[in-house]
Amino acid sequence: MKIALAQLNYRIGDFERNTSKMYEAITEARSNGADLVIFSELAVCGYPPDDLLDYDWFVEKCEQSMEAVAECCQGIAAVAGGVLRNRDTGRGLFNVACFMQNGRIQKVVKKTLLPTYDVFAESRYFEPSDTVEVIEFKGYKLGIAICEDIWDLYNDFRYEKSPVQALKEAGAQLIIHPSASPFHVGKIGQRDKVFAGNAERFGLPIIYVNQVGAHADLIFDGDSQVINSKGETVKQLPLFAEAIEYVTLGNTDFLSLPVHFAEPDEPASIHEALVYGIRDYFHKMGFKKAILGASGGIDSAVVQCLASSALGPENVTAFLMPSQYSSEGSVNDAKKLSENLGNRYKMLPITEMFDAGTETLKNLFAETQFGIAEENMQARIRGLLLMSYSNKFGDILLNTSNKSEMSVGYSTLYGDMCGSLSPIGDVYKSKVYTLARFINRQEEIIPGNILTKAPSAELRPGQKDSDSLPDYPVLDEILRFYIDERKGRDEIITHGYDPNTVDKILKLVNNSEYKRFQAPPILRVSGKAFGRGRNMPLVAWYG
């Protein structure tokens, strides 16, 4: 049996576009002699649809689209993900994979394990299935396990049920695994262990089909695979790209020889994911051009490079907005970066606006010292100028805050936190430098001075980040323990960190939750990013 893996990029709620792409894939697969084509989880509506599932019209269009895709299945069968109403008790919907043949939906398989952790909230919408069914096709018995259904042992917890075990007991000879599995660093290796573990555990081959594309914060990398019953990968589709590829199933297993896919190292993976995330976000939103505030610092430099790679340098404009506290070197570094990349840049000094603001406020601020209010005023003036330009010409502002700053609140609401998308809000400062060195791996694009000078917001004379924060290697490790690994104060201290430093950092993180609540969408590249995957109370006592 010849099987096509259709790794496609869907747009959530764009039923016409999604079904058209699926029609084309079915037609292509049929012309290439395939017997079966497999699509990803919730393919007809896109994943994750979130609260669109609360609308009857959305569910109705989803059901109609599944019927329309089925009509195209003449001379070929398909497995496609969608939504089905639950006519019984429980949640109102099922997450399903439909087996389509002869122009009709022949079988409907419902998802059993519903992830409700990190970025997933499927129990909010779907009712879990309590049964499995094997589908007979071309002399084979096919078992369909939708996404989480194959992860019963591979989380921080263990599910009571094993859908694949039930499919094995029902006689399945092949596990078809439609999925919507978002990217983060280390996810590819994690998947490999899950697939190999299941194949070896049950002695069954597996076909995994994932989607690609970015949906604001979530980036889907594809990485669709075919795994034989020994747990060896015999086919692997590309990362961050649409593809349709084929595999042949013999009597009991795949005929292809094992392949060895070298996972990109961490800087390359993060760089590729972020560039792809920016590009697909702009494409799906209908945006063409980006702007950003270029300070001459490492964060804005890396975002400018990522945006130029994603959108083309001609579509990125840097705004240099020096104040009386900005160093000449930083301004020159920002100019040089734009020249290296081929970006336009515009000079908008803010000294006069800042002086006008302080003059307006002088009576209210009388008998006070220059401080955080005056520093933040500069950031907000810059945000005002950038957003005004965006409103006037439609260019989209990119936020340049990193994860370290987002964590401890070292950023200004309605100032440098402005933006429609945050490309590096899930990248700690230390790794921003690593990304910069990766960008410069073949030639100096980011001026060397940007990588070597002490980080500074340049909002007061002689200011350095280290005046307010521990050195970034220390800060980032404490943040990683607390945020990514969810370790508490006492456990972090056992790793050798000063208790007072830990207390200070944790207090900054906890007290800055209200800022992150108002942050732009952050491209997720770690296992615990700010946004939908980390829901903390705004009003709470952390101790």
CA dist 214 and 182 (Å) reads: 9
User: Do 497 and 415 share a structural domain?
Assistant: no
pLDDT of residue 249: 92
With cut-offs at 50, 70 and 90, classify the pLDDT of residue 154: confident
User: Do 288 and 234 share a structural domain?
Assistant: no
Question: SS3 for 82?
Answer: strand
Share of the chain above pLDDT 90, in %: 90
For residue 293, the surrounding DSSP H or E stretch is: strand 290-293
* pLDDT of residue 81 exceeding 80: yes
Owning domain of residue 412: 268-465+513-517
User: Do 400 and 368 share a structural domain?
Assistant: yes
CA dist 92 and 53 (Å) reads: 9
Catalytic residue selected from 61, 107, 111, 235: 111
Strands 233-236 and 225-227: antiparallel
Catalytic residue selected from 45, 62, 147, 418: 147
* pLDDT of residue 298 exceeding 70: yes
The two three-digit tokens of residue 404, written as one number: 């370290």
Q: What is the mean pLDDT of residues 433-448?
A: 97
Number of domains in the chain: 3
CA dist 304 and 445 (Å) reads: 11
pLDDT of residue 543: 58
Residues 6+ away with beta carbon under 8 Å from 367:
none
* pLDDT of residue 297 exceeding 70: yes
Q: What is the mean pLDDT of residues 74-86?
A: 97
Q: What is the mean pLDDT of residues 423-428?
A: 98
* pLDDT of residue 458 exceeding 80: no
User: Do 304 and 452 share a structural domain?
Assistant: yes
Average pLDDT of every residue of the chain: 95
User: Do 304 and 285 share a structural domain?
Assistant: yes
Determine whether 127 is an active site residue: no
User: Do 421 and 322 share a structural domain?
Assistant: yes
User: Domain for residue 528, yes or no?
Assistant: no
Strands 140-144 and 174-178: parallel
* pLDDT of residue 370 exceeding 70: yes
Strands 316-320 and 290-293: parallel
User: Domain for residue 25, yes or no?
Assistant: yes
- Residues 381-413 have pLDDT tens digits of 999 999 999 999 999 999 999 999 999 999 999
User: Domain for residue 131, yes or no?
Assistant: yes
> 480 has which bridge partners?
none
Query: Considering only CA atoms, which of 478, 430, 480, 418 is closest in space to residue 455?
Result: 430
User: Do 228 and 98 share a structural domain?
Assistant: yes
User: Domain for residue 176, yes or no?
Assistant: yes
Query: Considering only CA atoms, which of 349, 351, 323, 319 is closest in space to residue 334?
Result: 319
* pLDDT of residue 186 exceeding 90: yes
CA dist 303 and 292 (Å) reads: 8
Residues 6+ away with beta carbon under 8 Å from 447:
301, 333, 336, 337, 340
CA dist 41 and 48 (Å) reads: 10
Amino acid type, 202: F
pLDDT of residue 326: 85
Catalytic residue selected from 21, 41, 336, 458: 41
pLDDT of residue 325: 87
Query: pTM for this one?
Result: 0.95
With cut-offs at 50, 70 and 90, classify the pLDDT of residue 213: very high
Determine whether 41 is an active site residue: yes
CATH of residue 496's domain is 1.10.10.1510
* pLDDT of residue 257 exceeding 90: no
Query: Higher confidence at residue 261 or residue 205?
Result: 205
User: Do 495 and 437 share a structural domain?
Assistant: no
pLDDT of residue 463: 74
* pLDDT of residue 256 exceeding 80: no
* pLDDT of residue 456 exceeding 80: no
* pLDDT of residue 227 exceeding 70: yes
User: Do 206 and 318 share a structural domain?
Assistant: no
pLDDT of residue 193: 94
Q: What is the mean pLDDT of residues 447-466?
A: 81
User: Do 154 and 19 share a structural domain?
Assistant: yes
User: Domain for residue 111, yes or no?
Assistant: yes
CATH of residue 224's domain is 3.60.110.10
User: Do 20 and 59 share a structural domain?
Assistant: yes
* pLDDT of residue 211 exceeding 90: yes
What is the end-to-end Cα distance of the chain in Å, rounded? 61
CA dist 413 and 162 (Å) reads: 46
* pLDDT of residue 272 exceeding 90: yes
User: Do 156 and 108 share a structural domain?
Assistant: yes
Determine whether 147 is an active site residue: yes
With cut-offs at 50, 70 and 90, classify the pLDDT of residue 462: confident
- Residues 311-348 have pLDDT tens digits of 999 999 999 999 988 888 889 999 999 999 999 999 99
CA dist 36 and 73 (Å) reads: 9
